[in-house]
Amino acid sequence: MTNIQSSVTNFIDQDVSIRRGLSRGFINSRALAKYIQHNLGLSCSVDAVISAIRRHEIKEENKVNIKKRYKIIANAKISSRSDMVSVLLKKNMDVRKSIIKLYNKIDFTRGEVLRILEVNQFMKIIIDSTNMKYVHELFPKNDIISTEQKLGEISLIYDEEVEKIPGVFAALTSELGLSSISIRDGVICGSEHIFIIKKDDLMKALETFYKISKWGEKN
């Protein structure tokens, strides 16, 4: 029974749509049990799976967090932009100096964008396609690892301190995943979340976030 419980728990925890449905009480346990049994290839009875599902109770505290999570998303200011390019760069001093020069060429007063991401091995810049001329001017070809074009950006700015409400960013990424939208890059800074996705997925992503906001309004 322990193995069944563990398998069912892991299955539910990895599926945001199931967790959301269970927290709201509108999932039929028998239908869910059959679904889990089929997907995991369990040899036990459906009743045993139902029992495991019932043991996987979502705590009241977590239910409250789920409601807060979707409510704060519903109140967020959402904006988008398209025609962006990401450039993956080597991480060295010459690249850093070139990024400083590039930063000084961006006209932020006109709404131009420069996102700078840094990890252990690489640096990445995300820029409007119209400003790619500066990238070619400032960065030697041997410092550019790869370039990805036709990207879009979705920004969510929250009224509240989003960092105090656990799981907001995870909820959004999970919903995008359910909509078969690949996140190329993501940024968390203060009360803003930014998602970089394919330009062709922008409308689908906005529709997904719109549905989430409606769920939040109902809560």
Indicate if the pLDDT at residue 1 is higher than 60. Answer: no
All structural domains of the chain with their residue ranges: 2-58, 74-218
70: which residues sit within 8 A by CB, 6+ positions away? Answer: 171, 212, 215, 216, 219
pTM: 0.74
Query: What CATH fold (topology level) applies to the domain 74-218?
Result: VC0802-like (3.30.2130)
Helix-strand-coil percent breakdown of the chain, rounded to 5? Answer: 55, 25, 20
pLDDT band at 135 (very low <50, low <70, confident <90, very high): very high
pLDDT at 72: 87
- Return the percentage of the chain with pLDDT > 70, whole number: 91
Q: Where are the alpha helices (DSSP H) in the chain?
A: 2-13, 16-24, 29-40, 46-55, 60-74, 93-105, 132-138, 168-178, 202-218
For residue range 21-38, list pLDDT tens digits in order. 776 667 888 888 898 988
pLDDT band at 61 (very low <50, low <70, confident <90, very high): very low
pLDDT higher than threshold 90 for residue 215: no
Amino acid at 63: K
Mean pLDDT value across the chain: 87
